[in-house]
Amino acid sequence: MWSADDGYKGYYRLWQPTATPRANIVCLHGIQSHSGWYLYSSERLCQAGYVVWFPDRRGSGKNARQRGDCASYRQLLVDVASFLEAVRQGRYATTLPGYGPGAHLPVILLAGSWGAKLAVASLRAYPGCADALILWSPGFFPRIRLRAWEKLQVVFWRLLEPTLPLPIPLNDPELFTGNPERQRFIEADALALRQATARFLFESARLDWYLRRAPSYVTCPVLLLLAGKDRIVDNEKTRRYFQQFAAADKTLIEYPEAHHTLEFEPQPDFFIRDILTWLERIVPRLTPVRSPSPSPMPLL
């Protein structure tokens, strides 16, 4: 399990290659999903020689404590940065006497959908926390938003009863994939997050504001994957935001016929191959840099 600075303990999945690892890949899932949605791609990346770490966000997936809740987006960023640093230092999955897998190797952050917001915000809050960044269908500019009265409801309950669960406006499986088999999987998934607390939704909006000034902090190599038939993400706004990243090495790949969750395409190997090709070029050039230890962030 992973441990947060406030004592919260959460689950993570780990895939270890049999040969000497090439680098670490730390994955972040979306607002409704969890690590169990991405078993196939994680296994494929591991087979290619990468140590794959996939924590479930606090209150999500197998983490039943404080379900769908977080008091501040800043705590989520601390969680991400702390996990990345623990992986870099080999503090998880240790075999005594020694370090855990992937210790002192480059750390690549792979994030999708709502989790991409945490990834980019973490690079602003803790520069150098990751050596490279892979984003798929990032949720910076959602096409599906809360209506005006729903936003007022979030603000009202955040003040009156902040832990009140409210619906997440993404409960139609067809938004994620056009694959009927995977639609049924989402619908039946007991670990999927269907509700979030009023303060979580409020903090998500605050995170959006924090992200406005984040592009100048994204200086590491970046790969962006977009789905042409994405019903959740505004791709045009995402492209413009991506072009603002300060990174000298930026790669954009678009899949015109794909839906939001690339993992759930009938034949998902196409995007995994592109990730591996990009990693083949990038990883030999990476020099692991020790990131600053996570500490409390200032208010907006």
Beta partners for 132? 108
Average of per-residue pLDDT across 267-274: 98
First to last CA, the chain: 31
Beta partners for 142? 233
| Phi and psi angles of residue 2, each rounded to the nearest 5 degrees, phi first | -95, 155
| Nearest residue to 32 via CA among 213, 217, 186, 263 | 186
pLDDT confidence band for 13 (50 / 70 / 90): very high
What's the pLDDT tens digit per position in 55-101?
999 999 999 999 999 999 999 999 999 999 999 999 887 654 567 88
Does 36 score more than 80 pLDDT?
A: yes
What's the pLDDT tens digit per position in 172-191?
999 999 999 999 999 999 99
pLDDT value of position 147 = 84
Sequence-distant (6+) residues with CB within 8 A of 203 are 70, 71, 72, 73, 76
Sequence-distant (6+) residues with CB within 8 A of 107 are 23, 24, 26, 84, 87, 88, 129, 130, 131, 288
pLDDT confidence band for 290 (50 / 70 / 90): low
Domain 2-285, what architecture? 3-Layer(aba) Sandwich (3.40)
CB-CB contact of 158 with 199 (8 Å): yes
Q: What is the mean pLDDT of the chain?
A: 94
What's the pLDDT tens digit per position in 116-154?
999 999 999 999 999 999 999 999 999 988 888 889 999
